[in-house]
Structure 1
Amino acid sequence: MTDTFDYVIIGAGSAGSVLANRLSEDAGTSLCVLEAGPSDWHPYIHLPAGFIKTFHMKSINWAYQQEPGPWTGGRSIYAPRGKTLGGSSSINGHIYNRGQRQDFDTWAQLGNRGWGYPDVLPYFKRLERRVGEGDDTYRGRDGALTVTTMDWRDPLCEAFMAGAMSLGIPRNPDYNGAIQEGVSYAQRTIQNGLRVSAATAFLHPARKRPNVHVHTHAHATNIIFEGKRAVGVRYIKGGSNGTPVEVRANKEVILAGGTYNSPQLLQLSGVGSPELLGSLGIEVRHALPGVGEGLQDHYAPRSVARVKNIKTINELRRGLSLWVEALKWATTRRGLLSLSPTMVYCFWHSGESTESSDLQLTFTPASYKEGVQGQLEDEPGMTVASWQQRPESRGYVRARSADPFQPPIIQTNYLVEELDRRTVVAGMKLARRLLGSAPLAPYFAYEDFPGPNVQSDDEFLAAATQRGTTTFHPGCTCRMGPADSKWAVVDDQLRVHGLQGLRVVDASIMPRMISANLNASTLMIADKASDMIRGKKAPEAAVLP
């Protein structure tokens, strides 16, 4: 017998968790959430410093690889994605960053009604419980997602921020408030030394309701259609050799698999480019050429300096020091193991004529092994990652074959646009100035990467090509836009163009990359979508100064 629900949600990540929570508030509504991975029981998920372990754990991580691009030096860049309850919010670096007002105003200007900043701000506020500084015009205090500011006061972090201010970059106590520009300690989803994932904030409370059914180890293989209407989902329980199962949706199928998995499942279900589907032997259910096209991500070279006269995280995580830190966390929930991997955020301009910040930089009093993200070096070091906030370059995500267990082809096309190359070079030059600033001089031994021999723009660009990596912010593969837009996949209600009973609700619907990490906005997208799905009136648009 096939189980039937009002809603079937594919993916229990950031978006799926919020949707499950909001939709299940209606007691008469039944919903099923399908998650390809296991439950989020693993201790490394909940220990903030466990990020360095979950980064490579294939039991809870899709562990994708990107295709080599024209500006990545022939390298295939690792692309982790969460594969557990909470999705990437269960394995990410905990950062809470919304982006700039103009990001969302641009979405609205592209023809997406109701997605301007005054429209989305009430949802950001509704989601969060901001602990600490912040103007309540912009911040929420009563939501389920706890947002704190890093409270570990490190001398290197303080010196870095003093260095930024010496270069004219102001201290900004709340980059999620009225203005993003400036330098400050990072805001993160950590409370009492534990990760606050979308699962812990939204999904687990929802699971206490009798109308919520969560199926783990449930790998969706295709969406079931009757004519042009989505009516259910087929999935395999327990791996590629597992049991085929079918669930039906009386009202809607909601695809919340994320930027890589959502377009792949649409393509496997016969929705996408007819040329691509034909090449894979997949029958075309609905021609929609934008599916999987337009991928954007932030590309970051990481500048490294050697450190003297002070211990960095590189030393603190070894030997007796690590045992001391473990004891500190166990007894007080504080210390090294309670930290996110990025501690300071800086937003600034690539040039004098730039109207708003287009560079994002992060500082960490640690350094990582070359080419191996997530593994600390033995030598003391400090790192500044710098990236262009709103890249122009676009790539794609395409099903590799008709086999749903084959990973998709991920081609990000980093730096193919000239503006992106100019901006990434400007970011590296600013990183050098920051690391070489007077307040950091007592601790600065020498620049390790890109190294003092790198001076010209071409040399900086070559270094970026050699060592740049993803910042784990993929979006824009099922873009939102009007029906007459060639590459649009969903409308401004997130309904798939030309089909019924099917929505996409995750970071893939972003029409353009935002000037931020993507988790906060993904949660907002899902919260806004929940009102659309339930037919609830949206909160009144914010009135802003």
Structure 2
Amino acid sequence: MLSGIGNADDLKKLGIPVVCHLPGVGQNLQDHLEIYIQQACTRPITLHSAQKPLRKVCIGLEWLWKFTGEGATAHLETGGFIRSQPGVPHPDIQFHFLPSQVIDHGRVPTQQEAYQVHVGPMRGTSVGWLKLRSANPQDHPVIQPNYLSTETDIEDFRLCVKLTREIFAQEALAPFRGKELQPGSHIQSDKEIDAFVRAKADSAYHPSCTCKMGQPSDPTAVVDPQTRVLGVENLRVVDASIMPSMVSGNLNAPTIMIAEKAADIIKGQPALWDKDVPVYKPRTLATQR
């Protein structure tokens, strides 16, 4: 076992022999945290009506028959990235718009016609860890993400709420805009917004960085730039855990890219690269937009 998922002494107490001591294993846990800002919709055009039994059957039959209709989409096609404030050099807040109301990760049916935005910072500064609970591989590990443990992350979430409210207040949404359902118009001060975020923030399911890539001289590195586990022969890690830090977006495409790059390394293929790839630069750092 690689130590680090709990230190070497912890593993020995669990009766697990330590093959290679890599303190970085299980450390440096990073994830995207997000909140839902929800607005009532004044027209019956959201997914609320799709919950009715007959409507569900019709949606399913249309998809099975023609691969079209409401069942042919995840309904999260609309999104975007913005800079949270002046001085930020790259977009650091992500939005996903959904024409529905999500409650408890979708385990609770929607209560009314509504729409919402999933919003959260892309480069959170809170860092957590995980370790083994026992020697039984069926037992869940101990995971401590340390969400919102830095003042930077708390301030970024305040901006997430305020900027989302600004977007929802735009004239284009006026024909559909009902009352704010979450956090609610009574939540206004920074202290109230902070309490709302702590009560309602959820993982965006982007855990990563617990087997970070780095040079052998880095005591926290777990794999080298060729994805090989340091100090262990014939073992690689090829997934989101080898990211040294969180990416500014969803993990799916970057993880596919990591896998394709690792496959080329293993096969000895030359590196692929393009010349003069444009990199985003804001028109000015002095303003947020």
TM over 0.5: yes
* Distance (Å, rounded) in 1 between the aligned partners of 2:105 and 2:265: 42
* Distance (Å, rounded) in 2 between the aligned partners of 1:451 and 1:466: 14
* Distance (Å, rounded) in 1 between the aligned partners of 2:43 and 2:274: 52
For the residue of structure 2 that corresponds to 1:340, the secondary structure is coil
Aligned equivalent of 2:84? 350
Is the counterpart of residue 450 in structure 1 residue 183 in structure 2? yes
* Distance (Å, rounded) in 2 between the aligned partners of 1:303 and 1:428: 7
In the alignment, which of 402, 414, 430 is matched to residue 147 of structure 2? Answer: 414
8 Å Cα contact 1:478-1:510 kept in structure 2: yes
What's the CA shift for 1:270? 4.2
Partner letter of residue 293 of structure 1?
Q
* Distance (Å, rounded) in 2 between the aligned partners of 1:472 and 1:372: 11
In the alignment, which of 520, 523, 533 is matched to residue 256 of structure 2? Answer: 523
For the residue of structure 1 that corresponds to 2:39, the secondary structure is strand
Is the counterpart of residue 326 in structure 1 residue 74 in structure 2? no
What's the CA shift for 1:423? 0.6
For the residue of structure 1 that corresponds to 2:54, the secondary structure is helix
Q: Deviations over 1:19-71 (max 9, x none)?
A: xxxxxxxxxxxxxxxxxxxxxxxxxxxxxxxxxxxxxxxxxxxxxxxxxxxxx
Q: Deviations over 1:72-127 (max 9, x none)?
A: xxxxxxxxxxxxxxxxxxxxxxxxxxxxxxxxxxxxxxxxxxxxxxxxxxxxxxxx
In the alignment, which of 119, 122, 125 is matched to residue 389 of structure 1? Answer: 122
Q: Which runs of 5+ in 1 are unaligned?
A: 1-268
What's the CA shift for 1:279? 3.7
- Larger strand share, 1 or 2: 1
Give matches, 1:305-316, under 5 Å: 305-316=39-50
* Distance (Å, rounded) in 2 between the aligned partners of 1:344 and 1:375: 23
Is the counterpart of residue 533 in structure 1 residue 266 in structure 2? yes
Q: Deviations over 1:331-389 (max 9, x none)?
A: 220111111142311211111222211100111010022x3444431311111111001
Size of the alignment, in residue pairs?
Answer: 276
What's the CA shift for 1:445? 1.1
Is the counterpart of residue 484 in structure 1 residue 201 in structure 2? no
* Distance (Å, rounded) in 1 between the aligned partners of 2:50 and 2:59: 8
Q: Deviations over 1:388-418 (max 9, x none)?
A: 0111111112111111111111111111111
* Distance (Å, rounded) in 1 between the aligned partners of 2:233 and 2:179: 60
What's the CA shift for 1:533? 1.1
Structure 1 residue runs of 4 or more that deviate by more than 3 Å after TM superposition: 371-376, 540-543
For the residue of structure 2 that corresponds to 1:346, the secondary structure is strand
What's the CA shift for 1:283? 1.9
In the alignment, which of 420, 423, 441 is matched to residue 156 of structure 2? Answer: 423
Partner letter of residue 448 of structure 1?
L
What's the CA shift for 1:467? 0.7
Partner letter of residue 71 of structure 2?
L
* Distance (Å, rounded) in 1 between the aligned partners of 2:249 and 2:239: 15
In the alignment, which of 292, 296, 299 is matched to residue 26 of structure 2? Answer: 292
Partner letter of residue 510 of structure 1?
M
Aligned equivalent of 1:197? none
What's the CA shift for 1:508? 0.3
* Distance (Å, rounded) in 2 between the aligned partners of 1:367 and 1:333: 24
Is the counterpart of residue 361 in structure 1 residue 79 in structure 2? no
Residue 364 and residue 449 in structure 1: after superposition, are their counterparts in 2 closer, same or farther (change >3 A)? Answer: same
* Distance (Å, rounded) in 2 between the aligned partners of 1:456 and 1:277: 47
For normalisation by structure 1, the TM-score amounts to 0.49
Aligned equivalent of 1:274? 8
For the residue of structure 2 that corresponds to 1:301, the secondary structure is strand
Aligned equivalent of 2:284? none
* Distance (Å, rounded) in 2 between the aligned partners of 1:542 and 1:410: 41
* Distance (Å, rounded) in 1 between the aligned partners of 2:274 and 2:111: 51
Aligned equivalent of 1:503? 236
8 Å Cα contact 2:2-2:25 kept in structure 1: no
Q: Which runs of 5+ in 2 are unaligned?
A: 279-289
Partner letter of residue 346 of structure 1?
G
* Distance (Å, rounded) in 2 between the aligned partners of 1:491 and 1:363: 38
Q: Deviations over 1:408-443 (max 9, x none)?
A: 111111111111111111011111112222111111
What's the CA shift for 1:295? 0.6
What's the CA shift for 1:532? 1.0
* Distance (Å, rounded) in 1 between the aligned partners of 2:142 and 2:219: 22
For the residue of structure 2 that corresponds to 1:304, the secondary structure is strand
Aligned equivalent of 2:71? 337
Give matches, 1:451-466, under 5 Å: 451-466=184-199
Q: Deviations over 1:445-498 (max 9, x none)?
A: 100110101111111111011011011111000000111212110010011111
Aligned equivalent of 1:164? none
